[in-house]
């Protein structure tokens, strides 16, 4: 899987039991039809059991959108730990999505705890990073992303999965140029190698307004190992088309 393209969906706070069933059935089918792509969906926590049951036996991985910053069972009302998600068979967790950074003030101090708990529970964390439009326009995009990645130095890693999601591209229909994506993904690779050592296995996904139409072009960019897909993962046809786009032969580098 660390050689494959990844297509992960993020349903955010969307879904209802009845509709989920049909959508997950179609997404599982697309995952099965494209076994060379690692495909998964991060569902709202309340629907993880339903999603796991529906995707059972298929190639679709089920993930969650966050984990608690607390590791151990105890008096943490409303929280769900990484160990609990791993216990029921969840495969991966998004960590530090920009909406969590924005609405829940998640910073590196909190995120490093979440990453640590995922590692301990053997739940694959996908760390989300990205700059705001103001930061990009001020020429700070790389510095902001470097600061967000700095917490990797506090843990020991054999595998690192990052989603680069410029905040200004999420849900807006605005996409960086392919040159901007290539530059940032190359930069993220270099940062990871210097923080984690040359032997680390890396996947860097691009996220932000990926859809059925633009996926092929984005996925062909150097150092783009896959996509993190929000809105388009709520539609079986779009998500299937993005998985298909990820099957295209890798460009020569």
Q: Which residues are catalytic?
A: 97, 165
Decide whether 15 or 231 has the Cβ nearer to ligand PEP.
Answer: 231
Q: Does 225 bind ligand PEP (CB under 6 A)?
A: no
Helices 17-33, 236-246: inter-axial angle, 10-degree rounding:
20
Site string for ligand PEP, 137-166 (x = CB under 6 A): ----------------------------x-
Is 33 in contact with 21 (CB distance < 8 Å)? no
Q: Does 106 bind ligand PEP (CB under 6 A)?
A: no
Residue 37 has, within 13 A of its CA and on its CB side, a CA count of: 33
Which CA distances in Å does 168 have to 122, 197, 209, 214, 228?
A: 32, 31, 10, 17, 15
The strand pair at 124-129 and 159-164 is best described as parallel
Length of the chain: 253
Measured CA to CA, the distance from residue 229 to residue 219 in angstroms comes to: 12
Decide whether 131 or 165 has the Cβ nearer to ligand PEP.
Answer: 165
* 10-47 b/e (C-beta count within 10 Å ≥ 16 → b): bbbeebeeeebeebbeebbebbeebeebbbbbbbbeeb
Measured CA to CA, the distance from residue 190 to residue 62 in angstroms comes to: 29
Measured CA to CA, the distance from residue 226 to residue 5 in angstroms comes to: 5
Decide whether 37 or 196 has the Cβ nearer to ligand PEP.
Answer: 37
Stretch that binds ligand PEP, among 48-56, 67-75, 131-139, 230-238 (CB under 6 A): 230-238
Q: Does 130 bind ligand PEP (CB under 6 A)?
A: no
Measured CA to CA, the distance from residue 12 to residue 49 in angstroms comes to: 16
In the complex, the smallest distance separating the C-beta of residue 125 from ligand PEP, rounded to whole angstroms, is 15
Which one of 3, 36, 171, 174 is in contact with ligand PEP (CB under 6 A)? 171
Site string for ligand PEP, 9-48 (x = CB under 6 A): -x--------------------------------------
Decide whether 86 or 163 has the Cβ nearer to ligand PEP.
Answer: 163
Measured CA to CA, the distance from residue 124 to residue 90 in angstroms comes to: 9
Ranked by CB distance to ligand PEP, the top (closest) residue is 230
Question: In the range 181-220, which residues lie near ligand PEP by CB under 6 A?
Answer: 207-210
Please work out the total of residues on this chain that contact ligand PEP, with binding judged by CB under 6 A: 13
Q: Which residues would be at the binding site for ligand PEP (CB under 6 A)?
A: 10, 165, 170-171, 207-210, 228-232
């Amino acid at each position: 899987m660390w050689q494959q393209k990844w297509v992960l969906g993020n349903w955010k706070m969307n879904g209802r039991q009845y509709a989920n069933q049909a959508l997950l059935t179609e997404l599982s089918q697309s995952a099965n039809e494209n076994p060379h792509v690692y495909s998964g969906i991060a569902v709202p926590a309340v629907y993880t059991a339903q999603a796991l049951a529906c995707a059972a036996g298929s190639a679709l991985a089920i993930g969650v959108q966050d984990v608690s910053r607390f590791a151990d069972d105890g008096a943490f009302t409303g929280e769900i730990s990484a160990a609990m998600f791993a216990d029921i068979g969840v495969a991966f967790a998004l960590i530090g999505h920009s909406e969590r950074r924005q609405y829940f003030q998640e910073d590196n101090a909190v995120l490093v705890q979440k990453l640590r708990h995922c590692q301990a529970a053997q739940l694959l964390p996908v760390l989300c990073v990205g700059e705001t439009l103001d930061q990009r326009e001020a020429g700070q995009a790389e510095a902001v992303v470097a600061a967000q990645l700095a917490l990797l130095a506090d843990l020991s890693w054999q595998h690192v999965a990052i989603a680069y999601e410029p905040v200004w591209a999420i849900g807006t229909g605005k996409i960086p140029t392919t040159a901007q994506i290539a530059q940032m993904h190359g930069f993220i690779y270099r940062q990871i190698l210097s923080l984690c050592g040359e032997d680390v296995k890396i996947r860097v996904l691009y996220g932000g307004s990926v859809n059925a139409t633009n996926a092929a072009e984005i996925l062909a960019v150097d150092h783009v190992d896959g996509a993190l897909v929000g809105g388009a993962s709520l539609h079986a046809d779009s998500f299937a088309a993005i998985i298909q786009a990820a099957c295209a032969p890798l460009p020569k580098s």
